[in-house]
Amino acid sequence: MNVRRVLAILLVPLLVSLATPPAAAATAVAFGSVVPVPVTTTATSGVSYAITTSTAVYTDPAAAGIGDLLAALLRRSTGYPIPVAPAPGTGGISLLLSGAPATVGPEGYQLDVTGTSIVIRANQPAGLANGVQTLHQLLPVAADSATVQPGPWPVPGGHIVDYPRFGYRGAMLDVARHFFPVAAVERYIDQLALYKINYLHLHLSDDQGWRIAIGSWPNLATYGGSTAVGGGPGGYYTQADYQQIVAYAAARFVTVVPEIDMPGHTNAALASYPALNCDGVAPPLYTGTDVGFSSLCTSKELTYTFIDQVFGELAALTPGPYLHIGGDEAASTAPADYAAFVNRVQQIVAAHGKTVTGWHDIVNATPLPSTVAQYWGTTTRDSAVATAAQRGTRLIMSPASRTYIDMKYNSRTTLGQNWAGYIDVKTAYDWDPGAYLRGVAASSVLGVEAPLWTETLVTGADIDYMAFPRLPAVAELGWSPQATHDWTAFKQRLGAQGPRWHVMGVNYYHSTQISWPGGS
């Protein structure tokens, strides 16, 4: 990190905070500033609801946890008691599992703000959670302060009906190249939930590190997890740590998708257990950034015992439907061996009651009818992926030249890589996941995901800098109707997030493509 960037990070927020009185920042929220943009929005001019010391949150029993999270947010910044009580209640904020239009489905909601109350209605708790995240963005930015602020606490009046375009809206965090502790992952989950991202894909293993304890193969974590890119100390999650992350995410309606990459990207495992190598000789631990040189021994029966036991333990810890098997950049595995390997691994995952996801290279095997392929290519044409989609394989869209948020913003960016090109906000936003790959119908697209690889990222501030402001751009592609897609409107709404990120302490990149308002 160069000195100029360090000074900018330290001084710019200080100068802005000095120039922007807290009360002014507290009221600088518009009804039309929500990201992702809702399906329909009607503002009520001149009407707002004021959160006061008498405000309470009323919830249906199944939404009590959602109400608790909302109340905790409000208590921290307002200092008000904000009790949580069973619905119905008078005035206040109500979270109700009744009265929402059937058309909003399981994740949609209806939000109404009047001068006397705020009411969020949904068909399922996930919908209420999404409605609360919209309400979160309508609160004054000071609501995200870690300490009590003076207020006032107005919420603009209006009516929203909203639901997602795609059921899968994901973000991937690579904890293998560099390890990030539980608290850092939980912080990222909170950021994902604010923008209605509902899947967290954790890249738990790679050549440089194995990050999840496996009881039947303990050296994977204790030895394979002992280092990182550049030779740092590494680290790993105990099974209790992993369960804590899963539970934290679930409380925010984010589902964890664990990935164990194979047959390539496996040096950490091969170094941990010599018997996993075809010649029985363990390679040294690896701390570089090359890819494609490692492979499990696909001809050994022990390899499949290993995979069965690893995925068995992981499946038992993971309530979500997916296990990700990786499958990319397997240059050291012969094509025929690769196909046979993937086909057998799919059956192992299915036997543990989970649905297979993998990088799109797995279409070179024979995908199970339920298998989901994650497209990471840099072009809009891939005949093998298109053929698989036409045969029924569902896709998660993660084109590297659009969604890989570890790519540099421009040639001056000190973090990240550029093998897939430079990606500023407009590039991340200005494409359609449902019409991106030639020969792939929108009906074949399960959703979209923004991967964040960490070869060059070491701290939580590094994660912030690469994820924001691009992550919300990809989130809008996953949630909002294509008919609402408009760069000019989006960049105004995205800019309005800047003051909130400033209060939240997010070390975001101040893209020159965005007009950032005062308080950013």
Q: Which residues are marked as active site?
A: 329
Q: What is the DSSP string of 93-133?
A: EEEESSS--GGGTTT-EEEEE-SS-EEEE-SSHHHHHHHHH
Nearest by Cα to 479 from 70, 113, 192: 192
Q: How far apart, in whole angstroms, are the C-alpha atoms of residue 176 and residue 209? A: 5
Contact between residue 282 and residue 271 where contact means Cβ atoms under 8 Å apart: yes
Asked if 110 and 122 count as a contact pair (C-beta separation under 8 A), the reply is: yes
Helix (H) or strand (E) segment spanning residue 187: helix 182-194
**Dihedrals φ, ψ of 278, to 5°?**
-60, -35
Q: DSSP for 225-237, please give it.
A: TS--GGG-----B
Q: Copy the structure tokens of residue 320.
A: 């979500």
**Amino acid at the residue 140:** P
Sign of torsion, CA 168 173 175 176? positive
Strands 84-86 and 40-50: unpaired
Give the HSE-up count for residue 396: Cα atoms under 13 Å, Cβ half-sphere.
30
Six token digits for residue 519: 């308080």
Query: Residue 96: beta bridge partners?
Result: 121
CA 376 – CA 367 distance, rounded (Å)? 17
Q: Give me 384's structure tokens.
A: 């093998």
Query: What are 63-68's contacts with CB under 8 Å, separation 24+?
Result: 63/95, 63/96, 63/97, 63/125, 63/128, 65/251, 66/95, 66/125, 66/128, 66/129, 66/132, 67/95
Distance CA 255, CA 201 (A): 8
Element (H, E) at 375: strand 372-375
